[in-house]
Structure 1
Amino acid sequence: MQRYFVELAYLGTNYCGWQIQPNANTVQAELEKALSTILRHEVSTLGAGRTDTGVHASFFVAHFDSQMINLQWDQKLLVSLNEILPRDIAIKEIVAVTPDAHARFSALSRTYEYHISRYKNPFSVETAWLYKAPLDVDAMKRAASKLLTYTDFTSFSKLGSDVKTNNCRVYTAMWEVQEQELVFTIRADRFLRNMVRAIVGTLVDVGRGKIAEADFVKIIEAKDRSLAGTSAPAEGLFLTSIEYPVNIFIE
């Protein structure tokens, strides 16, 4: 058996997230159907994470095993695979990796972006949160920087999540103004379910003056989800990068 990494992108609007669910349209189900058709054997994939309903990925990774050893995923084969897939899912590359490489557990870090549109834009209806009220972006930037000094993010975790720890190491957390959008970028070694959207929603509360920067710190330290803000809408969230050790890739 040979293990492969599939690098793909998708618009999450029409899907109930990445992970296969009963009676629901998911990205994983579409990918497995397409791979099974091309390879002519049943393919089971495992993704780098579980994006929620409506969340997008400009870069996502899944792995699968195949009896087809040293299969050359040339451009022609990738074109055939993309023709089978719906137009809102695109395969970028498929590469051979070592047998122990794992799309989820081998990841060193992940990066998400959250987009807030400041003006009505018909071309960002599905990819940004339209929020036209005034925001103190400088206060949001200062509050976001506090995330780098903490590791326990229970206050931003979905209640009832089945995880062993709520500790994460955040490497980057910053806001940028990009034309008519505000973009929040956050990079960490791991993320809790709903974590980014909860953080964004709470930072927006800082920006609108509902809570002070000092309150944002108190919310983190309280380790209580009920004290944080409402989660930002799914449509503004993108998984944009996943970092892996270079030695898992087979030349």
Structure 2
Amino acid sequence: MRYFLEIAYKGTHFHGFQEQEGVPTIQGEINKTLASLLGHQVDSVGSGRTDTGVHCLKQFMHFDTDKEISDKGNFIYRMNRILPSDILIKDIFPVREELSARFSANSRSYEYHITRVKNPFLNELAYFFPMPRLDVEKMIEATPILFHYTDFEAFSKVHTEVMHFICHIKKAEWKEEANGKLVFYITADRFLRGMVRAIVGTFLEVGCGRLSVQGFEQVIQSKDRRKAGRAVPPQGLYLVDVSYPSSIFM
């Protein structure tokens, strides 16, 4: 039988989501916990990868087992007792066996959090960027340009094993919040490795006056990662949602 897990985690002390030998990862910790409770090896599949230090408010993974999980409340309780405190199991539910946490997803949504004032309570949870004259209005002006393109090779890590660089961005916006907080929201059908952090880094080049709004568009047109801004640090990035067609759930 196939089950979906809904999870959340603080990624500070993990080497990303994907299981790797010899280092702590989100998937590795969850696989070990599932194996302990189910009595057999578990090879889970996640809805996607996150890098070292990246956080998650909502992600899914699936696994297969011959054992029926009849009391899901107790199973979630036992998993959360075993897992490190930075990983949370939010829900578990059966799905049809053809449903994949990775390939059945419609879209994924991220947020990037920036604090422009020093805040010890946001340490490891936001990027401290104390630029006094950041032109947020220019960054907002450049944002709609993303909707005019689908090829985002300029924002992809180089030497990645992908067949193409096509992504359809459905939402992208900046919001200024209280106490010097700045948040970038983005939703797309898929993301390239390092894409969100490179996009935010390039927006900051616009905000700092080192790149014009027209220059931002030219970066995308160039399809050259060297023309884009540097990738911002991982601690400000959050995977916040993964959506699926409702009709495919049991």
35-44 or 201-210, larger mean C-alpha shift: 35-44
Give 1:119's aligned residue.
117
Whole-angstrom distance in 1 between the partners of 2:70 and 2:220? 48
Q: Percent identity?
A: 46
Contact 2:72 2:92 in 1 (8 A): no
Give 2:36's aligned residue.
37
Give 2:15's aligned residue.
16
Name the SS of the counterpart of 1:235 in structure 2.
helix
Whole-angstrom distance in 1 between the partners of 2:203 and 2:146? 11
Query: Shift in Å at residue 73 of structure 1?
Result: 4.3
Query: Shift in Å at residue 77 of structure 1?
Result: 2.0
Give 1:47's aligned residue.
46
Give 2:195's aligned residue.
195
Whole-angstrom distance in 2 between the partners of 1:82 and 1:167? 38
**TM-score, scaled relative to structure 2:** 0.97
Whole-angstrom distance in 2 between the partners of 1:93 and 1:247? 19
Name the SS of the counterpart of 1:13 in structure 2.
coil
Cα RMSD (Å): 0.9
Matched, 1:214 2:214: yes
Whole-angstrom distance in 2 between the partners of 1:135 and 1:120? 15
Aligned residue type for 1:106: S
Which residues in structure 2 correspond to 1:71-86 (within 5 Å)? 71-86=69-84
Whole-angstrom distance in 2 between the partners of 1:164 and 1:191? 13
83-92 or 134-143, larger mean C-alpha shift: 134-143
Contact 1:117 1:131 in 2 (8 A): yes
Question: Structure 1: which 5+ runs fail to align?
Answer: none
Name the SS of the counterpart of 1:28 in structure 2.
helix
Aligned residue type for 2:221: E
Contact 1:73 1:95 in 2 (8 A): no
Which residues in structure 2 correspond to 1:162-241 (within 5 Å)? 162-180=161-179, 181-241=181-241
Structure 1 residue ranges, 4+ long, deviating more than 3 angstroms after superposition: none
Rate the CA distance shift 1:24–1:116 in 2: closer, same or farther, 3 A: same
Aligned residues: 248
137-146 or 83-92, larger mean C-alpha shift: 137-146
